[in-house]
């Protein structure tokens, strides 16, 4: 059952962070409220509601202080959609007040903070769901079933590719955007850990590596934009079964494409386009078989967990593998700039649009061959330190 028990009182929800991506959560809370599943009890944000929202939310408690809000507003769930480095302190405040949490991805800004959060969840006995929405899709299970049934033979590897567009306006929207650190605190707002974090989490889920990896994580971080963090990067790891997984991503593509994760087997491949919940099975001599699968909203699932004991789809401990990758990104050498000679720089309506030459092909090849950018010969990715001449699979 996806929703709560029939006739049960709506779950009272406070939204922490109503602007930016928080506006999506606000709309989602309203959708579930229309079904009688939840009730918006309060909003915590430094900026009060404005425009149409100001009228619609006139009767909703608002505060810039979460502890003060929870002290006067009874709530069962806090939906936290705030900057990465605020996730742990705000989740801790909610848990301290006896409030369950739906926490936006990435879980926290460091692995140490992640362990602290998991410990607080265990201590309180409350629920903490992490907002990797793609992991609520039944397409994940469909891919796993195809692989376990032998539909593509023995698995050779998993590759994820994401090519999106973000202009300079994306990084100008907030002081933490595109930062690795801010005021002495880790932020880790890079392409693999925030905008395309779902590509990493989904690849790990398909490889059975959500809770643990199989060894060292290799990371290559670059940036074309004038930022501190990375916007064009790749990572390679192994699952507990030793299967190689590579995720390659950029925010400097000429156009947006839907990100996808592909499981490569000896006799075929399965591609999951996770933003569309679409599974595509390809085998030699056969036409592709495409199926689209339903997705369960994570707040709906949290309500079902609280009302009916339905298991959480993305509990805090199920993001340990992702957080291991984030920690590797956090502790890696500083991202290297991509030379201007390797870019096309255009002025768009919403800022400067930077396109790295050949980046779409590079990202796709990295995912397909499970190879790092430096191994594929990108001039800006090769240094004397990483020029190994390694033979990579084709």
Percent of the chain scoring above 90 in pLDDT: 89
The per-residue pLDDT for range 191-224, each reduced to its tens digit, is 999 999 999 999 999 999 999 999 899 999 999 9
pLDDT-based confidence at residue 57 (cuts at 50, 70, 90): confident
Q: Is the dihedral of CA 91, 326, 178, 199 positive or negative?
A: negative
pLDDT at 349: 86
Residue 176 CA to residue 85 CA, distance in Å, equals: 9
pLDDT at 302: 98
Q: What are phi and psi of 11, to 5 degrees?
A: -75, 125
pLDDT above 70 for 285: yes
Residue position matching structure tokens 């409220």: 33
For the segment(s) 137-293+316-381, the CATH number from 3.40.50.720, 3.30.360.10, 3.20.20.220, 3.40.50.300 is 3.30.360.10
Q: Do 349 and 362 meet the contact criterion of CB atoms below 8 Å apart? A: no
What single string gives the DSSP state of each residue in 248-310? EEESB-SS----EEEEEETTEEEEEETTTTEEEEE-TTS--EEEE--B--HHHHHHHHHHH-P
Q: Is the dihedral of CA 59, 62, 67, 72 positive or negative?
A: negative
Residue 317 CA to residue 324 CA, distance in Å, equals: 12
pLDDT-based confidence at residue 135 (cuts at 50, 70, 90): very high
pLDDT above 70 for 378: yes
pLDDT at 55: 62
Query: Which of 46, 42, 91, 49 has its CA nearest to residue 71?
Result: 42
pLDDT above 70 for 6: no
pLDDT-based confidence at residue 364 (cuts at 50, 70, 90): very high
pLDDT-based confidence at residue 58 (cuts at 50, 70, 90): confident
pLDDT at 348: 83
The per-residue pLDDT for range 156-192, each reduced to its tens digit, is 999 999 999 999 999 999 999 999 999 999 999 999 9
pLDDT at 385: 56
pLDDT at 59: 82
Residue position matching structure tokens 């801010």: 182
Mean pLDDT computed over 319-337: 98
The per-residue pLDDT for range 291-317, each reduced to its tens digit, is 999 999 999 999 999 999 999 999 999
Give the Å distances, CA to CA, from 164 to 175, 252, 299.
21, 7, 26
pLDDT-based confidence at residue 65 (cuts at 50, 70, 90): very high
Give the Å distances, CA to CA, from 53 to 56, 173, 361, 379.
5, 20, 43, 49
pLDDT at 391: 43
- Global pTM? 0.94
pLDDT above 70 for 2: no
- The angle at the Cα of 315, spanning 311 to 320, to the nearest 5 degrees, equals 140
pLDDT above 60 for 394: no
Give the Å distances, CA to CA, from 41 to 16, 63, 268.
11, 12, 50
pLDDT at 50: 67
pLDDT above 90 for 334: yes
Domain boundaries, the chain: 11-134, 137-293+316-381
What are the start-end ranges of the H helices in the chain? 22-34, 52-56, 66-72, 87-96, 111-124, 139-148, 168-172, 197-206, 298-308, 320-331, 359-369
Running DSSP on this structure, what letter comes out for residue 341?
G
- Confirm or reject CATH 3.60.21.10 for domain 11-134, answering yes or no: no
The per-residue pLDDT for range 231-246, each reduced to its tens digit, is 999 999 999 999 999 9
Average confidence score pLDDT of the chain = 94
Q: Bridge-partner residues for 260, per DSSP? A: 161
Q: Environment class of residue 58 by beta-carbon count within 10 Å: exposed (0-12), middle (13-18) or buried (19+)?
A: exposed
pLDDT above 90 for 68: yes
Choice between 55 and 245, residue whose per-residue pLDDT is larger: 245
The per-residue pLDDT for range 40-51, each reduced to its tens digit, is 999 999 987 666
Residue 382 CA to residue 377 CA, distance in Å, equals: 7
**Residues counted in the chain:** 394
pLDDT-based confidence at residue 388 (cuts at 50, 70, 90): very low
Percent of the chain scoring above 70 in pLDDT: 94
């Amino acid at each position: 059952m996806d929703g709560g028990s029939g006739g049960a009182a709506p779950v009272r929800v406070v939204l922490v962070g109503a602007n930016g991506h928080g506006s999506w959560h606000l709309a989602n809370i309203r959708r579930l409220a229309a079904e009688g599943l939840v009730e918006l009890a309060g909003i915590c944000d430094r900026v009060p509601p404005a425009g149409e929202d100001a009228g619609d939310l006139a009767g909703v408690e608002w505060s810039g202080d979460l502890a003060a809000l929870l002290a006067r507003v009874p709530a069962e769930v806090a939906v936290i959609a705030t900057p990465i480095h605020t996730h742990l302190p705000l989740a801790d405040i909610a848990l301290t007040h006896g409030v369950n949490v739906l926490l936006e991805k990435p879980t926290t800004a460091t692995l140490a903070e992640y362990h602290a959060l998991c410990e607080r969840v265990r201590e309180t006995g409350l629920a903490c769901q992490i907002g990797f929405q793609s992991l609520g899709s039944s397409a994940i299970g469909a891919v796993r079933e195809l692989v376990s049934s032998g539909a593509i033979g023995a698995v050779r590897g998993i590759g994820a590719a994401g090519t999106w567009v973000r202009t300079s306006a994306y990084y100008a929207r907030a002081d933490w955007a595109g930062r690795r650190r801010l005021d002495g605190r880790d932020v880790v707002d890079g392409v693999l850990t925030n905008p395309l974090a779902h590509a990493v989490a989904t690849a790990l889920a398909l490889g059975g590596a959500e809770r643990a990896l199989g060894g060292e994580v290799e990371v290559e971080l670059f940036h074309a934009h004038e930022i501190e963090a990375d916007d064009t990067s790749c990572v390679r790891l192994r699952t507990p079964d030793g299967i190689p997984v590579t995720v390659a991503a950029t925010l400097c593509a000429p156009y947006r494409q839907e990100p996808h994760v592909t499981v490569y087997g000896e006799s075929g491949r399965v591609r999951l386009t996770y933003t569309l919940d679409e599974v595509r099975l390809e085998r030699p001599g056969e036409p592709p078989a495409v199926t689209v699968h339903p997705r369960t909203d994570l707040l709906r699932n949290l309500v079902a967990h609280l009302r009916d004991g339905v298991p959480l789809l993305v509990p805090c401990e199920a993001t340990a593998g992702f957080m291991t990758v984030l920690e590797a990104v956090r502790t890696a050498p500083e991202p290297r700039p991509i030379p201007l000679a390797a870019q096309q720089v255009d002025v768009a309506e919403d800022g400067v649009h930077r396109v790295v030459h050949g980046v779409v092909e590079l990202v796709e090849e990295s995912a397909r061959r499970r190879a790092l950018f430096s191994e594929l010969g990108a001039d800006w990715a090769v240094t004397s330190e990483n020029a190994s001449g390694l033979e990579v699979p084709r």
